[in-house]
Structure 1
Amino acid sequence: MREERELRPVVVQDRRTGQVLMLAYADAEAVQRTQQTGFAYFWSRSRQVLWQKGETSGHRLRVREVLQDCDGDSLLYVADPEGPACHTGEVSCFHRDLQGRRQVGPSGVLLELERVVHERRRDPSPGSYTAALLAADPSRLHEKVFEEASEVVRAAREEGPERLADEAADLVYHLSVLLAREGVGWAAVLDRLAARRAAR
C-alpha cells in the first residue's frame, strides 16, 4: 500500500523570461531539499521517490525563490534552468496546443530563436541566411545590425507602429545572430536588464 503524502503542485517559471517551464509535485521533504540545496526537487507520483530535476540529464533547475499561492496549496519555483526543462529537449514542457501543434509563447521566442541560431551554426543548412551570416566576415554582420537599427529609427519617425514592429523584429533577429557569434546568450542580456531593474 502506498504511503499517503501531502503533495502540492509546483509550477516552475523561468526567472529571466517569465516563461512557464513545467509542472510537477512536491511534498514537504522535496521543498525542504530545494531550499537547502538551491536546486529543484520533486516527488515522483509514479515511482514514489524523491527526485532532483536534471539528476540524469544534467538539466537542473537552480531555484532562486519559492512562492506559495494565496491558499497555500500550490507552489511556484522561480528558477534559472541549466538546459531544457522538458525531457523532449524543448525549453518548456508546455510547447503543444490541444491539437498537438508546436507552439512557442511570446516569452520563449528569444530563447527559441537563440536555439535555432546555434543549430544553424552547428549544422549549416544549404541556402540558410542565418548560416551565411555566421560564416561571413564579422564586419558583414556588424553592418547588418547597424543597418537594421537605422531602419528601426526611420520606421519610428516616418512609417508607423506596424512597420516599426517589423523593423524591430529584424533588428532582434540580427542581434541574436551577433550575440551567438560572440558567445553571448540572451540569458546574460536579460540578467543585465533584471539587475538594472532591481537596482532602482
Structure 2
Amino acid sequence: MNIDFNKNNDGLVPAIIQDAITKKVLMLGYMNQEAYAKTIETGKVTFYSRTKNRLWTKGEESGNFLNLVSIKNDCDQDTLLIKVNPVGPTCHKGTDTCWEETNEQSFGFLSELEDVIKSRREDANSKKSYVASLFEAGINKIAQKVGEEAVEIVIEAKDDNEALFLNEGADLLFHYLILLQAKGYTLKDIVAVLQGRHK
C-alpha cells in the first residue's frame, strides 16, 4: 500500500478506526511509518502519540486492544480507514467511542422501525394504533398475520406485478419485526444466528 506519510511534513497520517461489525467510528488517531509497520506486524493497532511523542499501542495499559481486521487507504493516499474488532471500550474515558456513542449494530431504517414498534407497544397512549392492537390481541394473532403475509408474498412472487410483490414483502417484514418483539427478540438476534451459520 502506497501511503503518503510526507504530505503534511510531520510524517503522520490520520487513521480512522471503525468497528468491523457494527461499522461505528470508534476514534481517530495518527500513524507514522513505524506505527503502521507495528500494526501490521502485531495485528494490534498502534498509533504515534503526539502528546507522548512515541509509538502507542491502543490497550497497552488498559487491555482494551483494537484487533486489526483490515486497512484501506483513501484516494489521496493520506488517510487510513482501519477496521477492527475492539476489546472493551475504545475511549480513555471508558465509553465505547470517543463521541460517547454506544457501539451497537444498526440496521438503518429497520432499527428505527423496531424502535417505533417498541414505543407503540409500551406507550399507553398509543393503544389505538395498529401495532398496539396486535400486541393486545396476543401472540397467536401476530403469528397469524405473519402467516397471512407470507402466503400473500408467495402469490405475488408468481405474478409480474413488482409493486405488489415489494409491498407484500414490506408487509411480511413489518409483521415479522412485530412477531420478533412479541417473542422478546430483535433483528440483532436473527443476525447473530445467521453469522453463526456463516462461520
Structure exhibiting the larger radius of gyration computed from Cα positions: 2
For 1:109, the equivalent position in structure 2 comes to: 109
Aligned-pair CA distance for 1:26 = 2.2
Separation in 2, partners of 1:128, 1:88: 31
Quote the residue 1:184 is aligned against: 185
Aligned to 1:67: 70
Deviations 1:52-102 (A, max 9, x none): 9xxxxxxxx99775321145841333569x9x977588x79xxxxxxxxxx
Q: Does 1:25 align with 2:42?
A: no
Question: CA–CA distance in 2 between the matches of 1:63 and 1:156?
Answer: 45
Does the aligned pair in 2 maintain the 1:125–1:131 contact within 8 Å? no
- For the 8 Å contact 1:9–1:23, the answer to whether it is kept is no
* C-alpha deviation, 1:132, in angstroms: 1.6
Q: TM-score, normalised by structure 1?
A: 0.58
In the other structure, the counterpart of 2:16 is: 10
Q: Structure 1 unaligned segments of length 5 or more: list them.
A: 53-60, 93-103
RMSD: 4.4
Alignment match, 2:130: 129
Aligned residues of 2:13 and 2:78 also touching (Cα < 8 A):
no
Q: Using a 3 Å threshold, how does the CA distance of structure 1 residues 161 and 148 change in structure 2: closer, same or farther?
A: same
Unaligned 5+ segments in structure 2 are: 1-9, 51-55, 59-63, 90-95
